[in-house]
Amino acid sequence: MTRPNSHNESIKALPDVVGTYLTFMIGTEEYGVDIQSVSEIVGLLPVTPVPGSPPVVLGVINLRGKVIPVLSMRILFNLGIVEATKHNVFIIIENDAKLIGLSVDQVREVASFTKDDIEPPPNYGLGIDAAYVRAIGKSEGKIRMLLDIKRVLDLHSKSN
């Protein structure tokens, strides 16, 4: 689909995408975030909604005395909300010394991606905003979208 030259160039631009990711399910798709940014995973905690916040923000939770915001990945990716199951968890991400939780349907595994497993994202057909995706990981017969955490966390604050 892409010409070999630009493909290789894009790969060269992705050296920092190589690495280990925590993967999780949102709807029927599997996504991954850089394991370095993950602080912990917690089961669902009571959420207090915050008036005046964008729809993607579910609210805030009490994480051992710290009040941190949590986002709904389903809403971010424009899927409807469904009833929580026992698999739903919050992935607590640390970004810029701040903690934010992401509500996901189910955590999958910790997977490593080498440069042979990674491809740049196509410009269309992803089903979600391409800006969120740093690269596509193809390994073990699965396609997983590796997310750009900074974009995910930033975009939400601009949308409303």
Partner 1 sequence: MAEQDSLFELFIAETKDHLELAEESLLRLDRFPTDMPAIESCFRAIHTIKGSAGFLELVRVQNLSHACETVLDQLRNKVLTASPACIQLLLQTVTCLVQEIANLDKGIRGPTDIDGDLLTALANISNEAAEKIANPTADIPDDLAIMEDFIPEVTELMNQAEGLLINPVVNSDSIQGVLRSFSTLTGICSYLGFSKIALQSRNAEEALTDTTGVPLLNLSQQQCLSILEIIDVIRKLVKSLDSDPKPTPAVIANAPADKILSSADTIFDMMEMNDLTPETSENETNAILAPGTFPKLVNENAITRQGILRTGGEGFSRIAIAKLEELVNLVGELMISQSMITDDVSTIEHPRLRHSIERQARIMRELQNLALNMRMVPLRSTFKKIARAAHDTAHKLGKDVLFNIQGEETEIDRTIADGIADPLMHMIRNAVDHGVDSPAERAKAGKPAKSQISLSAVQAGDHVVIKMEDDGPGLDPEQLRKKAVEQGLLAPDASPSSNEAFQLIFIPGFSTASKLTEFSGRGVGMDVVLRNVQSLNGTIDISSTIGRGASFIIKLPLTTAILEAMLLRVGSHRFLLPVGSVIEASQPTPENIRSVLNRGRVIESRGQLLPIARLSDLFSLPGGGVEPGQGILLVVEHFNGRYALEVDEILGQQQVVIKPLSKSIPHHPGLSGSAILSDGRVGLILDPNRLLPNSTAA
Under the rule (CB under 8 A), what is the footprint of partner 1? 46, 48-54, 57, 59-62, 65-69, 98, 100, 153, 157, 160
**Quick one: 27 or 59, whose CB is closer to partner 1?**
59
Closest approach of partner 1 to the CB of residue 87, in Å: 23
Two tokens, residue 146? 């590796």
CA distance 22 to 15: 18
Please report how close the Cβ of residue 62 comes to partner 1 at its closest, in angstroms: 5
Return the exposure string of 86-118: e unless at least 16 CB atoms fall within 10 Å of the residue's CB, then b.
eebbbbbbeeeeebbbbbbbeebeebebeeebb
Instruction: Report the residue number, 50 or 143, with the smaller CB distance to partner 1.
Output: 50
- Judged by beta carbon, residue 110 or residue 131, the one nearer partner 1 is 131
Strand pairing class (142-147; 29-34): parallel
d(CA 119, CA 138): 8
Nearer to partner 1, 98 or 142 (CB): 98
**Contact assessment for residue 89 and residue 104, using Cβ atoms and an 8 Å cutoff:** yes
**Least CB distance to partner 1 at residue 152 (A):** 12
We find the least distance from the C-beta atom of residue 99 to partner 1, in angstroms, to be 9
Partners of 59 in beta bridges? 70
